[in-house]
Structure 1
Amino acid sequence: MTRLLKNHVLWALCCGAALMLLLLLLQSRAANGPSQPGPTSAPVTPVAVPSTPQEECGGQDGELVVATGDDISTGSVRREVFDEWNDLLKPAGDPPAKLLEVSNSTDVRRAQMAALAQSGSCAYDVLVLDVAWVAEFARHGYIQPIDLDDRAGRFMTGPLEAGQIDGKQYGIPFAADAPLEYRRLDQRSGGYLLQLNDKEMGTINFLEMIEFGGGTVLDGDDEVALDDDTWAALTAAGRALSSTDDSAAVLRESLQADEDGSIVAFKEGRIGGQPVSYMRNWPIAFHQLAADPRMRGQDMRLLFDVHAPATGGGVLGGSVLALSKHIKPDKVAPALRLIDRLTSQEAQGRLYACGGYGPVLTEVYETYQAGGGPSCPRQDGSDITNPSLDELATLAAEIRKSIEHARPRPKSPYYAQFSEVFRRCARGVWEKKVTREAFFSSAGMLEAAMNGRTRTDRPPC
């Protein structure tokens, strides 16, 4: 059985890799066609392949495999939550949960999960999906709906709706993300560091750059709507500060920065020889900063503060827990019991206090803002300083404010194509390599990408 499962997984990976290679070839062809506007092809349709026979989906030692990204929290608390489930809380008849960290890259992780799903693989039972992927995985049949009755309003509205597609709940909120501004209190004359690298994080930051600058990319119906304000926001040199009426220059080094690199530069107060005083990042950055002795004064007070965006808005991030379409039927009930535990108030409070994951439950925010909630004890022999209850209360208030104003990315099964095209154009504008005319002429290409059509002409960006 073990040899058969290994052979199946190898076959699935090979098939998945071939499918992803075909997709890349199609995208490359679209990027290198003639320069004049051309027609669009038919919508992309997933390749139909048979699913793995259910009798071959037992999993290694009957485990419940949960596919996710790397645990980037300060103390690997997410894995501790899973260990606690397996050792103390799991019903005796349920299979143990195996946390499988697929990749630390959002883009690579999505591609690998999608490739295996297209091949009909049952290698994963539960998927921890970025909220931006839910539409793709739901409408292509990679995941299945989950019955959820939230009439009591346990979940935050934004994260809950992010997991809903066509009126059904395909993803149960697991971690909530929204933009926060970090400001050094000991150095306020430096620049503003964003994450504008050529990955999904770059797309998010460019969308926010335009929104915070008063421009638009998409209207309320997710139709492309570029205008003069879009161009002005994308070419502005500064960014308004959340705590004052001033602005700070956005550092050119942002073009190569990701979340982790930004945190390192913020701690050091410099990047590429330029001083850094402000940073846009996710809530989890708070714990990584607070745990560093360099970010606290002699009185142990933080040398930085954090605010939700002053103008409101921003891009909603985070993750959901989803059931694979190919999960073995007798694993569904155990998977749902695990999901219930991961979204319980106790687990969500621990993930927040010790790891910095944004809670998805309203009650967790209310508890911390009222001065309660669990704090994370300092580990024996560790020099990590965990946030105090006062610091957790302040952070909870800012995260909640940001989540309540953040907007989801388009619920399109072809969002990944749109993201790549938009990011290429936005980076070109910011690098002063794309003209105003070329940028506005990209609207048709963006519309085509959003609807799953690849252009046969050379992209204007």
Structure 2
Amino acid sequence: MRWKRAAGRALLVCVLLLAGYAGMGSRPPGTPAAADAAGRGPVTLVTGGDLTGYLRGILDGWNRTHPREKVTLVELPDSADEVRAQMVSELRSGSDRFDVLNIDVAWTSEFAAAGWIAPVDGTRFPLDRFLPPVVDTATFGGRLYAVPYVTNAGLLYYRKDVLDREGERPPRTWAELERLARTVAPRYGMDGYAGQFLPYEGLTANVVEAVQSAGGTVLGDEGARVTVDSPAARRGLDFLTGGLREGWIPRRALSFTEEESRAAFQNGELLFLRNWPYAYTMAGASGSAVAGKFGAVPLPGPEGPGSSVLGGSNLAVNAQSRHRATAAELMAYLTSEAVQRRVLTQGALPPVWADLYSEPRLVRRFPYLPTLRRSVLAAKPRPKSARYDQVSLAVQAVAQDALAGRQSTRAAVARLSRELRAIADRG
């Protein structure tokens, strides 16, 4: 969700870099890029902002051993929407300014369908060592168009001290979550539960998670078929709208993004919180009101554990890159086991290598890893579509009206189905 901020690793400003790149080459879309015979040379990696600074150190290691194929890092603004807008502007113009793109997993299908990113030779990467669901985020139309770089899945954070005092266990079902949020939270002066319900990509994630946890889907056949008008989808949306109507989800949660919801939990104002793994480290930091008092489990569902959407990012090669061979080698470097370990230990971002989630030394430092592994393995990609941006906006608009009580769940799901069919027909 980001790291998108997905992880909460929000994105930095690149305005001051624009002038330095303004003179770099571009061409009309579809025109092949000129390249040296081997497709090798300096490359540029564009990404959301690296607030921890870990990525520059990793790229310094590459540059020391590749003096003729150095990588330049470009960091984009503090907004996933702004990151996508700037990338799309460059790609749509046929620019070769960016060689390797660190993209939100949800953008892969859109970028691939538009012809902006080149297919990837999967034999160059240890995909069999990755957590299986993350590889699915990098495919479209039966082809691999990117390589998973970091992953993410939603977790349910809970006040362990409060539940222990009440003799309760963390909820595994929606009914258990609702009961505890309604009855236990008020006794401790807290609100019951919150997720990310402001109309932005976070709301799409929360709604899709509820729908798929109930056994439903939003789209099928990579956006060609609309499947959302179902009892399962209505049940999933009812879980959220019912919580707001009955008060165990506070109305203020309608303005929550990842950060507002994390702050509310970290300040001791929530019994339960749905958020990404980055919140674990921040809530456990010195000075946090809940440090040492909370835990995390997989998201609940109607009859047992639910299903998160996958967050994180994939690495893709600009179809107009003049140095695709170097770009592919850089991607192999960034997804190697050694670098993936640094992604976790220095960047606090969940890696895609499966073995790292059970390594004892890492689990001691990041106790949420085994729980996150279970969540990732049960997770699914967000709905694939060549028009994903329009799909997400439709989900947000309809869900906002339903959550605010302006439209019934049944009417909202039927309306969303109509809007998604219109999007699919345009595609």
2:84 and 2:297 mapped to 1: Cα distance? 30
Aligned to 2:236: 233
For residues 322-375 of structure 1, the C-alpha deviation after alignment (integer angstroms, 9 at most, x for no partner) is 0001111xx222222221221111111121123321110122223x2xx134xx
Equivalent in the alignment of 2:156: 181
Instruction: Tell me the equivalent position of 2:211.
Output: 210
Cα separation, 2, equivalents of 1:233 and 1:127: 34
Provide the residue aligned with 2:171 in structure 1.
none
User: Matches of 2:159 and 2:31 in 1, distance apart?
Assistant: 53
Answer yes or no: is the 8 Å Cα contact 1:286–1:356 preserved in 2: no
Q: How many residues align?
A: 369
1:50-98, Cα deviation, whole Å (9 max, x unpaired)? 6596489xxxxx75211111225xx332333223333x4x323222x22
Corresponding residue for 1:199? 200
Which has the higher Rg, Structure 1 or Structure 2? Answer: 1
Equivalent residue number for residue 168 of structure 1 = 143
- In the alignment, which residue of structure 2 is the partner of 1:421? 394
Q: Does 1:434 align with 2:407?
A: yes
1:78 and 2:55 matched: yes
Name the residue aligned to 1:64: 43
User: Which one of 280, 285, 289 corresponds to residue 286 of structure 1?
Assistant: 280
- CA–CA distance in structure 2, aligned partners of residues 7 and 78 of structure 1: 26
Distance 1:293 1:138, change over 3 A: same
Q: Do the aligned partners of 1:265 and 1:276 also contact (CA within 8 Å) in 2?
A: yes
What amino acid does structure 2 have at the position aligned with 1:421? A
Cα deviation for residue 167 of structure 1 reads 2.5
Where does 1:18-417 land on structure 2 (aligned, <5 Å)?
A: 49=29, 51=31, 54=34, 63-72=42-51, 75-86=52-63, 88=64, 90-95=65-70, 97-149=71-123, 153-187=128-162, 189=185, 190=190, 191-212=192-213, 214=214, 216-218=216-218, 221=221, 223-236=226-239, 249-269=248-268, 275-294=269-288, 302-310=292-300, 311-328=305-322, 331-366=323-358, 368=359, 371-373=360-362, 389-392=363-366, 394-417=367-390
How many Å apart are 1:409 and its aligned residue?
1.6
Q: Which runs of 5+ in 2 are unaligned?
A: 1-17, 164-184
1:82 aligned partner, one-letter code:
L
Quote the sequence identity (%).
28
CA distance in 1, matches of 2:19, 2:390: 37
CA contact (8 A) 1:66 1:100 kept: yes
Distance verdict in 2 for CA 1:361–1:291, change over 3 Å: same
Opposite residue 104 of structure 2, the aligned amino acid is: D
Q: What is the one-letter code of the residue matched to 1:251?
A: P
Question: Closer, same or farther in 2 for the Cα pair 1:252/1:128, shift >3 Å?
Answer: same
- TM-score, normalisation: structure 1: 0.72
Paired with 2:256 and 2:361, the residues of 1 have a C-alpha distance of: 36
Distance 1:5 1:110, change over 3 A: closer
Partners in 2 of 1:251 and 1:7 — Cα distance? 51
Whether contact under 8 Å (1:52, 1:122) holds in the other structure is no
Letter paired with 1:372: R
Q: Which residue identity is paired with 1:184?
A: R
Partner of 2:22: 6
Structure 1 residue 410: deviation in Å?
Answer: 2.1
After superposition, the Cα gap between the structure-2 partners of 1:304 and 1:448, relative to the gap in structure 1 and judged at 3 Å, is same
Question: Per-residue deviation at 1:320?
Answer: 0.5
- Shift of the 71–252 alpha-carbon distance from structure 1 to 2, 3 Å rule, reads farther
| Aligned 8 A contact 1:182 1:278 in 2 | yes
8 Å CA contact retained: 1:197, 1:255: yes
Give SS of 2:343's match. Answer: helix
Q: 1:294 deviation in Å?
A: 2.2
SS in 2 for 1:277: strand
Distance 1:403 1:82 in 2: 27
Compute the displacement of 1:130 (Å).
Answer: 0.9
Is the contact between residue 193 and residue 253 of structure 1 (CA under 8 Å) also seen in structure 2?
A: no
Conserved? CA contact 2:133–2:377, under 8 Å: yes
CA distances 1:272-300 after superposition (whole Å, capped 9, x unpaired): xxx31221111222222333432576xxx
Task: Report the CA distance shift for 1:340/1:428 in structure 2 as closer, same or farther (over 3 A).
Answer: same
By how many angstroms is 1:396 displaced?
Answer: 1.4
Distance 2:315 2:372 in 1: 21
* Structural RMSD (CA): 3.0
How far the C-alpha of 1:416 sits from its partner, in A, is: 1.1
In the TM superposition, residue 99 of structure 1 has moved relative to its aligned partner by: 1.9
Q: Distance in 2 between matches of 1:55 and 1:148?
A: 22
SS at match of 2:296: strand
SS in 2 for 1:146: coil
Q: For residues 177-211 of structure 1, what are the alpha-carbon distances to aligned partners after superposition, in whole Å with 9 as ceiling and x for unaligned? A: 11111123345623212111111111111112333
In 2, distance between residues paired with 1:450 and 1:292? Answer: 49
Which residue identity lines up with residue 203 of structure 2 in the other structure? G
Q: Distance in 2 between matches of 1:258 and 1:432?
A: 20
Using the TM superposition, give the Cα deviation of residue 4 of structure 1 relative to its aligned residue in structure 2, in angstroms. Answer: 10
Residue 144 of structure 1 aligns to a residue whose secondary structure is: coil
Cα deviation for residue 248 of structure 1 reads 9.3
Amino acid in the other structure paired with 1:339: M
Contact (CA 8 Å) 1:417, 1:452: kept in 2 or not? no
Note if contact 1:143-1:323 (Cα within 8 Å) is conserved in structure 2: yes
Q: Is the 8 A contact 1:117 1:142 kept in 2?
A: yes
For 1:126 and 1:268, the matched residues in 2 are separated by 39
Say if 1:174 and 1:319, in contact at 8 Å, map to a contact too: yes
Structure 1 residue ranges, 4+ long, deviating more than 6 angstroms after superposition: none
Aligned with 2:313: secondary structure? Answer: strand
Distance in 1 of aligned mates of 2:140 and 2:416: 28
- Give the superposition deviation at 1:161: 1.8
1:133: how far off?
0.7
